[in-house]
Amino acid sequence: MTAETLLSRVTATAVTAALLVMTGALAAVAETYPSQHYTLRLVTVAKGLDQPWGLAWLPDGRMIVTEKEGRMRTVTPKGILSPPIKGLPEVDDGGQGGLLDVIVDPDFASNRTIYFSFSEPGRGGKGTAVARAELAGDRLENLTILFRQEPKSRGSRHFGSRLVIAPDGTLFITTGDRGERDRNQNFAINRGQVIRIHRDGRIPEDNPFVGKTGFRPEVWSYGHRNPQGAALHPETGKLWIHEHGAAGGDEVNVPRAGRNYGWPVISYGRHYFGGKIGEGTHKEGMEQPIFYWDPSIAPSGMAFYTGDKFPKWQGSLLVGALKFQLVARLDLDGEKVVREERFLEDFGERIRDVRQGPDGYVYLLIDSSDGRILRLEPAGS
């Protein structure tokens, strides 16, 4: 080998090594994102999910995840997906419907119970329904339907469907207007409401409309459009929700018993085809949001952060976005939003759900046909 050949090979090797180092550096940069207080790193926990919608944790550390098409799986902390769980009811996954939210009973260790929402087919079309069942290995047993949105309709939009267990043990259910805004102020049917029931399906005697003619007794609040985020405030225990507006007017609300939140009579949004909605932004007897987005970010998923991995976020409200494909962090002073920070703005994928894990990290569900569970960490942790 000549000196020139040796020099050429050494040079080529050095260039290749340099390129590999640069490629690795670029890959690392691509996985990190800036925010006000932290450099954020996204870690893929699991992949190969088809439009994952809801996420919860079992006491043994596994996650349980729903896929819109009608599958439910468990996921190990190392990201291993189980086969689809058997025993689910029939699900209509047309349009925005499908297998939607899932939560775990506080007493799961003793009763093995989970709750989930889905678009249920039936007479007249489909509507939001909520079931409870016992998770027994790879199947559901003793399944019971706790709530059915009535009447069903043939529309394919606005199922709502977030589930939250309140401090008193009751179950909150968010329901959408099913794309029928002209029926949303008809209080004798289920359109655009927060529902409150016992975990066995009974209606609490202290619900605001129990015994009132023309109102449904399971209703807690009404006048909502399409609430796809719900969480309990960590200090007050109150339910907070967010809901999709039309072209603008996504809202954050703290739904109070018996209150009317105005859709479609009042709104900060506009029709998709142009023009104002209803009578404006205010009307006596109708509640104001504590915060709204205009233009719409299309919010989905919501969590109050209380963990120790992001101490400067404690007390913040985290909201995912489908249209704007980001996470919004809202700083709060009581029930007032004092500041909004947006991050992952260059991420480029629809965020369907945001949850705080038992480990204190933030988890995201990516809404795509090759959906993933992602863990959000401070870089360097």
Q: What residues are labeled active site?
A: 158
Peptide bond into 299 cis (omega under 30): no
| Total count of residues recorded for the chain | 381
Q: Is 14 exposed, middle or buried (CB count within 10 Å of its CB: 0-12, 13-18, 19+)?
A: exposed
Q: Which residues contact 243 (CB under 8 A, 6 or more apart)?
A: 174, 224, 225, 226, 227, 228, 229, 250, 251, 253, 263, 299
Identify whether the C-beta of residue 93 lies closer than 8 Å to the C-beta of residue 68.
Answer: yes
Nearest Cα residue to 318 out of 256, 376, 244:
376
- For residues 100 and 158, give the distance between their C-alpha atoms in angstroms, rounded to a whole number: 12
Neighbours of 309 (CB within 10 A): 18
In the numeric block, the tokens 């919501």 are attached to 302
Give the tokens for residue 223.
């006048």
Going by C-beta distance under 8 Å and a sequence separation of 6 or more, which residues neighbour residue 328? 293, 297, 299, 318, 319, 321, 340, 341, 342
CA 268 to chain centre: 22
* Local structure of 263: helix, strand or coil: coil
Name 280's Cβ contacts closer than 8 Å, sequence gap at least 6: 266
Query: Which of 121, 141, 144, 120 has the alpha carbon at shortest distance from 132?
Result: 144
> Measured at the alpha carbon of residue 165, what is the angle toward residues 160 and 166, in degrees to the nearest 5?
115
Amino acid at 193: Q
Q: How many other CB atoms are there within 10 angstroms of residue 345's CB atom?
A: 14
